Structure 1
Amino acid sequence: MRKHSPCWALRAVAVVAATATIAAGLASCGASADADHSKDGSWKTVYGNQKLGGRYQSLAVGDAKHAWAFGNTDPDANKHTRIDRWDGKRWKPDTFPSEWTITPEFADASSADNVWAGAQTADKVFTLLHYDGHQWSEHQIHFDTVRDIEAVGSNEVLLLGDGTLRRFDGTTTAQETAPTHSRFGVVMGADDTLYAVGARKNQPYAEKWDGRKWTSMDAPASRPKNCSDGGFSDMYVRSVDDIWAVGNSMCGNSFKSFMGHWNGKKWTMTVDTKHNQRFDQVVDDGHGGIWVVDATGKYVHRDAAGTLTRYDAGTKDAYGNLPRIANLPGTRSMIGTATTNPKSQSSKTPPYGLVRQFQP
């Protein structure tokens, strides 16, 4: 799982070479106009308040009964690491060494026994935290700039950097063949195939590792007119013929986002020129649809019928900064983390981390 990027792309998933159909507005891909409210469920805050304070920056899910939210106890400085845990019934502080100060920007889990979180903590030093199902441990490795991490197997993690891909098992670091151009994100597909995503020539770009080399997968040009950059930020693969990808372009002082669907034969791309939004993450909704994180502070749901609904990642009185989202596997329940930012400039309420849950 990625951290938040300033523009696009810190994650990847399977992409298939295809032709593209570009359409303006979110009327393509079976999408309808935005709905104000959903009859299927709602978000509510389940953990976090002013007393607990702090902030969240990353989220990892092992299974429906194991999830972790990572951040720091201080909203403005890296004083003490914060790790809170979902045990299937409630959220509570996890147990780990009290002297840790890292604020994990990346987090991912391949199971409840292989959870990784990390951040760049010094020049060419990347600090990783690992949970093996029993306890947390800390590891430091020499790495210039990490762009993404991906938990794989029973005890390993992949780290992607600029032209570098490494595998770490808690003891040994092994060099892997890095993607040719996609340097923003990497993921292990369901078939144990690696995929990478990012941008090339300011357009979405993706590659697939075939066991011998990285090969380009033709991604559709999706950058809106008058925009300077564009690229994939995240993708979700439900099956080989049901793949969703999201990304965005920088257009002056705003962002325009796009959403793409691969049906096994071709891409259908939808460019939204209406909203100033930055699609940063896409995940399964557990019921044939998807959830998309708009990094400006929204959760966007696209149900299986194509209806789009936007929700605030924060509360009625505060914006939700740095939102993250994940599905609890095997359910339709979603969890999201964010750090509040008061909507009123006169508010004396300090920022704090909160966990929200969507219950159908």
Structure 2
Amino acid sequence: MSSFSDTDAWALGGDRGFAHWNGRDWRNVPGPDGGGRMEAIAVAGPSDAWAVGRRGAPPAGKNFITQIQHWDGASWSIIPSPEFRGRYAALWGVAALAPDDAWAVGCDGTAALVEHWDGGSWSRVTVPVPGPGLHSSLTAISGRSSHDIWAIGTYDNPESAPNTLFALHYDGAAWRAVPMEQIAGHTDGTYAVPWSVVAIGANDAWTVGYTTGTGQRGGTLTEHWDGRRWRFVPSPFDHPSPTTTGSLIKVTARAPNDVWAGGATYTVDDDHPEKSYDVLLLHWNGVRWTQDTTAPTTGSSNTITGLSTTLGGHVIWATNDGHPELLSHP
């Protein structure tokens, strides 16, 4: 989800369109005819929002292709995407900075994909991706300004496991690759999946997701940029176990010492054979990550699927137990 103000926020509705907050209540807003599945949304203003994802039923020989939708203040419409080259192409993240400046990331076949909106059209942008023979994809993007943008993803060698985290940074002129710390034991089959990134300052950015290994249920992933390097920071549920997993899906920030990450934990054991999901909400106070257990939820299967910080300084999150439940945190 993404918000512009306390009275203007958007949440994805899967294949069912969108949900919009007007300051009083949420209402469903239909997507355009022929719309696909949107994976990310970014709001730049009351009449300027972008959603990106993919759609099925593509041309012959393709599995699915990218789709970009735009909100103009009255309705959602499909905006043409650049040509794609692989058997499949998808967009997983979007950042909207101005009416003539938006970015989207994903993959085109086995190569990471970056696209830019200049106010008139979307175009592909050449970026430094891992070398030949490596499969790469970018899953998240966030910009503090047009001169400070982070994109996060992974690459892997299909002939061997596991994958490798990688980051790209845009300084207003060019994209460059920035090394990231890799999870311990990743050469033994532990995978990392970064789902979200937030750019806070020149020396401050976070990416979150989860890790998983052979025979393990997974653990939370929290990695921080301090202006010199990316490094892992301990967080609750960050050690995979055979029965319990912690995963983070979204991250947002109100200040360097007020960062929120959301996702879920679930347990699979003799007492929970069907997987028991619980909301996972973490808070960074500038020193450490701690779990916040105040999020009101209903049902037996809950996951925070969206987080956003409004200009008014509120955190809004969306939980989903099969029926979206949109909540706010003052």
Instruction: Give the TM-score of the pair, scaled to structure 1.
Output: 0.59
**2:43 is the alignment partner of 1:61:** yes
- Equivalent position to 1:291, from 301, 305, 317: 317
- Equivalent position to 2:200, from 176, 189, 192: 189
1:234 CA displacement: 2.1
Q: Distance in 1 between matches of 2:142 and 2:82?
A: 22
Whether the aligned pair in 2 keeps the contact of 1:196 and 1:206 (CA below 8 Å) is yes
1:129 CA displacement: 2.2
Quick one: which amino acid aligns to residue 66 of structure 1?
D
Quick one: which amino acid aligns to residue 167 of structure 1?
H
Identity between Structure 1 and Structure 2 (%): 22
Whether the aligned pair in 2 keeps the contact of 1:282 and 1:293 (CA below 8 Å) is no
Judged with a 3 Å threshold, the aligned counterparts in structure 2 of structure 1 residues 204 and 132 are, in CA distance, closer, same or farther, namely same
Judged with a 3 Å threshold, the aligned counterparts in structure 2 of structure 1 residues 276 and 171 are, in CA distance, closer, same or farther, namely same
Q: Distance in 2 between matches of 1:79 and 1:211?
A: 38
Whether the aligned pair in 1 keeps the contact of 2:197 and 2:251 (CA below 8 Å) is no
Unmatched runs of 5 consecutive residues or more in structure 2: 3-20, 155-163, 184-191, 213-217, 269-273
**2:147 is the alignment partner of 1:158:** no
**2:281 is the alignment partner of 1:256:** no
Q: Which segments of structure 1 move beyond 6 Å, counting only runs of 4 or more?
A: 98-101, 222-226
Q: Which has the higher contact order (CA 8 A, sep 6+)?
A: 1
Q: Distance in 1 between matches of 2:113 and 2:240?
A: 38
Q: Distance in 1 between matches of 2:317 and 2:293?
A: 16
Counterpart for residue 97 of structure 2:
110
Instruction: Give the TM-score of the pair, scaled to structure 2.
Output: 0.63
Q: Distance in 1 between matches of 2:229 and 2:126?
A: 29
Counterpart for residue 343 of structure 1:
none
1:137 CA displacement: 0.5
Q: Distance in 1 between matches of 2:316 and 2:81?
A: 33
Deviations 1:145-187 (A, max 9, x none): 3353324342755233223223368995522121343761433
Whether the aligned pair in 2 keeps the contact of 1:260 and 1:269 (CA below 8 Å) is yes
Quick one: which amino acid aligns to residue 159 of structure 1?
I
Judged with a 3 Å threshold, the aligned counterparts in structure 2 of structure 1 residues 193 and 158 are, in CA distance, closer, same or farther, namely same
CA RMSD of aligned residues (A): 4.1
- Equivalent position to 1:43, from 26, 29, 34: 26
Judged with a 3 Å threshold, the aligned counterparts in structure 2 of structure 1 residues 261 and 211 are, in CA distance, closer, same or farther, namely closer
Specify the SS of the correspondent of 2:292. Answer: strand
Q: Distance in 1 between matches of 2:193 and 2:171?
A: 22
Q: Distance in 2 between matches of 1:168 and 1:121?
A: 20
Q: Distance in 1 between matches of 2:64 and 2:116?
A: 20
Judged with a 3 Å threshold, the aligned counterparts in structure 2 of structure 1 residues 102 and 256 are, in CA distance, closer, same or farther, namely same
Counterpart for residue 275 of structure 1:
300
- Equivalent position to 2:67, from 82, 104, 108: 82
Quick one: which amino acid aligns to residue 104 of structure 1?
L
Whether the aligned pair in 2 keeps the contact of 1:59 and 1:70 (CA below 8 Å) is yes
